[in-house]
Amino acid sequence: MRITGLVTTLGAILLITVTGCASTVSGEGRAAAGQTGSEQSGDTGEPSDSTEPSQTTESTQSGNDELDCPDESVSPAGAPYCYTAPDLDEVDLGDPTAGEEGSFRTSYGFGPTDHIDVQAYAVAIDTDELSDEDIIAELAGVIADLEAGGFVFDDEPTSLEIDDARAFAYEGASTDGTQDIVTHFIFRGLNEVQVNCASIEETDVIDAACAGVLDSLQIVG
């Protein structure tokens, strides 16, 4: 997240061209704060041939934090998160229109207009030590970056708990009013997971699938 002094830029994956089909990578789901997916897993940058979600995984990052992911979970190798795969196709959303792309990115939906996009970001200090007010104040800068990419968001987020971790959801829309977007920022320790749920034509389907992703999401810190 873009907290002053611990910056890793968030990505906004909205209204962009589909360039192919991403593959879910099975793996241990071990958190890798400060590393990208390719650094952690030895990925060469080429798409994986695997299209199968990962099987049950358990791993420890710090303290008692661990992922315990059931079958049919999405858990890229080295990622600090997992969630139950939605009943949607995987999509490749291309490069972000604002900010920088996160690591361990997984995306499902119908394409650039209607999708759920999940990315991880390493944070340089323990976010558990920050107040809600501190995090929200810093997220204001992130939201400003996303708005520069052609969106407008509510000024104040909705505070949530996802996997007993702090989360903040910002509702927004494209400036032309056609696309709805809810961007979720979830924090635990040294990790942040961002979940974007965007839709134009398949709002009911995306809303239901987004709820399923958030309900099943696990994150380690």
More confident residue, 24 or 168: 168
Both tokens of residue 98?
A: 């604002």
Residue 70: pLDDT band (50, 70, 90) is confident
Residue 210 CB coordination number (10 Å):
22
Residue 99: pLDDT band (50, 70, 90) is low
Residue 100 CB coordination number (10 Å):
16
Chain segment 5-49, per-residue pLDDT in tens:
333 333 333 332 222 222 233 333 333 333 333 333 334 334 333
Q: For residue 173, is pLDDT > 80?
A: yes
Q: What is the mean pLDDT of residues 148-161?
A: 93
The whole-angstrom separation of Cα 26 and Cα 16 is 26
The whole-angstrom separation of Cα 125 and Cα 165 is 16
Average pLDDT, the chain: 76
The whole-angstrom separation of Cα 172 and Cα 189 is 27
pLDDT at 98: 58
pLDDT at 71: 75
Q: What is the mean pLDDT of residues 207-216?
A: 98
Q: What is the mean pLDDT of residues 112-121?
A: 96
Q: For residue 164, is pLDDT > 50?
A: yes
Specify whether the CB–CB gap between 115 and 198 falls below 8 A: yes
Chain segment 121-153, per-residue pLDDT in tens:
998 889 999 999 999 998 999 899 889 888 999
pLDDT at 160: 96
pLDDT at 97: 63
Mean pLDDT is highest, among 5-14, 71-80, 210-219, for: 210-219
Q: For residue 75, is pLDDT > 70?
A: yes
The whole-angstrom separation of Cα 163 and Cα 156 is 22
Q: Indicate the SS3 state at residue 172.
A: strand
Q: Indicate the SS3 state at residue 178.
A: coil
Both tokens of residue 203?
A: 């709002």
| Domains of the chain by start residue, with CATH | 11-39+52-219 (3.40.1000.10)
The whole-angstrom separation of Cα 90 and Cα 107 is 6
Q: Indicate the SS3 state at residue 86.
A: coil
